[in-house]
Every structure is written in C-alpha cells, then in structure tokens.
Structure 1
Amino acid sequence: FVFVEAFLDHAIRYRLYGMLSESGERLSKTSELHKSVLDVFCEEGIEIASPALMDRREYDTAVQYFPKIGKKNQTRKEATIVEELVFDKADEAQSLEELKEAQTRLSKSLEKLDAKQKKVVEEKIARIGEEIVKREEKRKES
C-alpha cells in the first residue's frame, strides 16, 4: 500500500509498504516491488524526473497536468483496512507479550505460597501457557 508522506519543493514523497510471509525475502521482494512500480509508470507514460534534470517542452498553457488519483472513498476504505491489519497484528503481539509477562510473574510468586495456593497459581500458569501456544500458532498461520 502507498502513503503520501510529504510534499516537497520539487516532488511528492511517497512511501510503499508491504507485508512479507518470510522476512528473509525482504531484499528480493523490495527489488521486485520497485521494478513493478517502474513497469507501471512506463505503461502509464509517467516519467520520474529529478530537480537536476533540464528538459524543455512546450505545452498548451490552457491544459493542466495532474496525476490521476483514485476515488476518495476507495482510498479511505483501503487505508482503514491497512491500519486495521497493522494495528491488529501489533495489538496481538502486545497482548502475547503481556501474557508471557503475567506467566513469568506468577511463576516467580510460587515460592511464597502455600501448597493450596501454589496449585491454583500453577493452574493459571498452565492456562496462560496454553493460550500463548494457541496465539503463537495462530500468528504463524496468518
């Protein structure tokens, strides 16, 4: 997905984002993404110029040249979906870390408890452990 990051004096800065199933593919997938962007630009007749490029072209002064943009509703829907996906994953990761911390704290507190209390806490630790395993498996699947 694409975000407009900044309006500069001579250009608009965009940032491309994507999600990978394997982080080890980052370099090759980034290169493939850049190549795809260049291919689309070529197909659409869009050229990328730099401030150092000197090119003089005569255009009809009555015609304005602006990049094509999608409908606003589609962009908002896409942005909402992207944010939900990213933040859902972040929330899930945070929740998993909180479960692990709770499990660690409970394990440390076992020493101070009597036998009856230890059994209750050990059961809680086991349930938390099962939940951690379940969530980690779910993360791997997605």
Structure 2
Amino acid sequence: MLEQIMAFVPFAGVVAAVVGILWAAHWLLIGRQAELGNERKFSRQLIMLGLTILGLLASVLALPINDSSRNQLIGLVGIVISGMLAFSSTTIISNLMAGILLRITKPFRVGDFIRIGDHFGRVTERGLFDTEIQTETRELIALPNTYCISNPVAATLSSGTIISATLSLGYDLDHVRIERLLEEAASTCGLREPFVHIMELGNFSVTYRVSGFLDEPKRLISVRSTLYGCVLDALHGQGIEILSPAYMNQRQVGAETPVIPSNVAMTTPKQTDASPEDIAFDKADKAEKLENRKQRLGQEIERLETLLKEDLEEEKKKAAKEDLEQTKQQLKELDEKVDPVQE
C-alpha cells in the first residue's frame, strides 16, 4: 500500500508543477493586465492554450502506469480533445480559426471604417473570437469572427475614400447644367476631383450621383452630411426644385410658387477642432493611434538591428545599441501598461 502511495508522489509533483506553471504564466501574460483589449490578448491566449495542452500531456506521461496503459490513456485524451473540437467546431474553434485567417488575409486593420452585413463602424479590436467595431452612435458591437469571414467586408482605405450623394430630378432640367451645379457643390464641401454620373433614366425622373475624393476618411460622416447640404444650396440657389414629376402634395399651391426655402443660406464646411467623429469613434481613434505607434516602434527596431549588422565605428555602434534598447523598452511599456483605449 505504501509503495503504491509512493509511486504516485512523482505524479503529484508533476501535476503540482504543471498547475503552478500554468497559474504563473496566466498571471504574467493576462492576469496582471486584466484590462488588456482582445487585440492585445490574442497572442497571449494562444500561448496559454499551447501550455495547457503540453501540461496535460506531461501529467499523463507522469502517471505511474505501464506503457500500454499510458498509450491507451493518451489515445483516450486524443479522442476527448477531438470530440471537443468536433462538437465546438461551429462556435469556438470556428471563431478561433476565423480569427487566425483574418490576421493572415488582413482585410482591415484597427481604426478602419468597415461595413459587414448591416453593421457599419470603425474597428476598435481584433480579438481571438470576435471583432469589435464602434458605430456612429458610439455603441460597441462584437461581431463573431465567423461572421466576418462568411460576409463580404467593405473597408475604407486610410489613404482616402469616395463620398457620394444620389438624387432624382425631372426630365425638364438640362443635365449639363445639373452636372455642373453638382460638381460645384462637391467642390464647396472640400471634396477633390468631383464627378457626376447619370445612374438611371426612370419613367418620371433622372437619377444623378455626385461623388468626390475625401483625403481624411475619419471625417467621412460629417463630410457626407455637408455634401448633402451643399447640393441643396447649389440647386435651390438656382431655383431648381429637387422634385420628380411624380411629386404630389395635398396643399393648393400655385404653379408660380417654387417649393424651395424662401431664404437660401449657402452651406460652408465647418472649420472646428472637434468633429462628430471625434465623439462617436473615440475608442477606435485611440486604438488606431496605439497600433500605429507600435508599428512605428517595430519598424525602428528592425532598422536599428539591421544597422548593427553593418561594420560601424565603436561609438556609432554603442549609440545604436542604446537606441535599440530604449526603443524595445518603449514597445514593452506599450504592451504592459493598462490599455489606453479604456482610459
């Protein structure tokens, strides 16, 4: 009896060591930084998953049983893990694999405007199982990664985007004149290289779409609103009613009475330090700045490491080493401090 108990002592020691290592690893990677976002937890969670599987295998190998029984037990563990993967493949594992695929294909990055299905907003986090976006109303929506993979993703490029407005006008208006006025409206609201397309010749009206290039996608929502106002001002200022011939109104209005405001005040883009996007997408903006800063530090580290491989003078090599250590420390501080997005 005593011999059997003593045979389990090494196994108990191994289990205790595995539990201690996993607990310490969890505390170092995740526990002491509980407010880390999903984006920054991704690699740490993958490490914990690998350590847990290795700990389980080590515990099985330490069991005081013969090789035949140990092999059977390892096979049983493999069957259990396979069963878990099979039963959870439509949820946990599928989201995990989708998250890895999103990092490989990189259809969007933190801070981008994206549209997935009926959801539109800026990306704030790319997590292990979901992607978080911030909407125009400052709401945070967590989209499962499988949803992001199975639905088309439209991402706005950080280098600029096209802003458009669509409206219908009657056949009695000269399309050349309308196109000129719409291009002037797009230029007034700050869009570059404006252009107009005739989208449809309907039964009762002509559909126009005016577009222009926006250099700062972060102002997408406010500039689109300004474009609508400039289109109204440009057409109403020339006495053009934005009505199709199918328009009906129950009021008795004479033919000589135009259906436009009596006083037309031209819209001018607001020049203010703050914009609606600064309020609506505050978390996405902070997340993008953090990501860009980490990327710049990573590029600087690569540059310094390449420089150190060259044949340099002793003083220059020493200065490069000091700069490299400082840059690595800055990057480490960004990874370890409380997530500034939550501040």
When you count strand as a share of all residues, which structure comes out higher?
Answer: 2
TM-score, L = length of structure 2: 0.21
When you count helix as a share of all residues, which structure comes out higher?
Answer: 1
Higher alpha-carbon Rg: 2
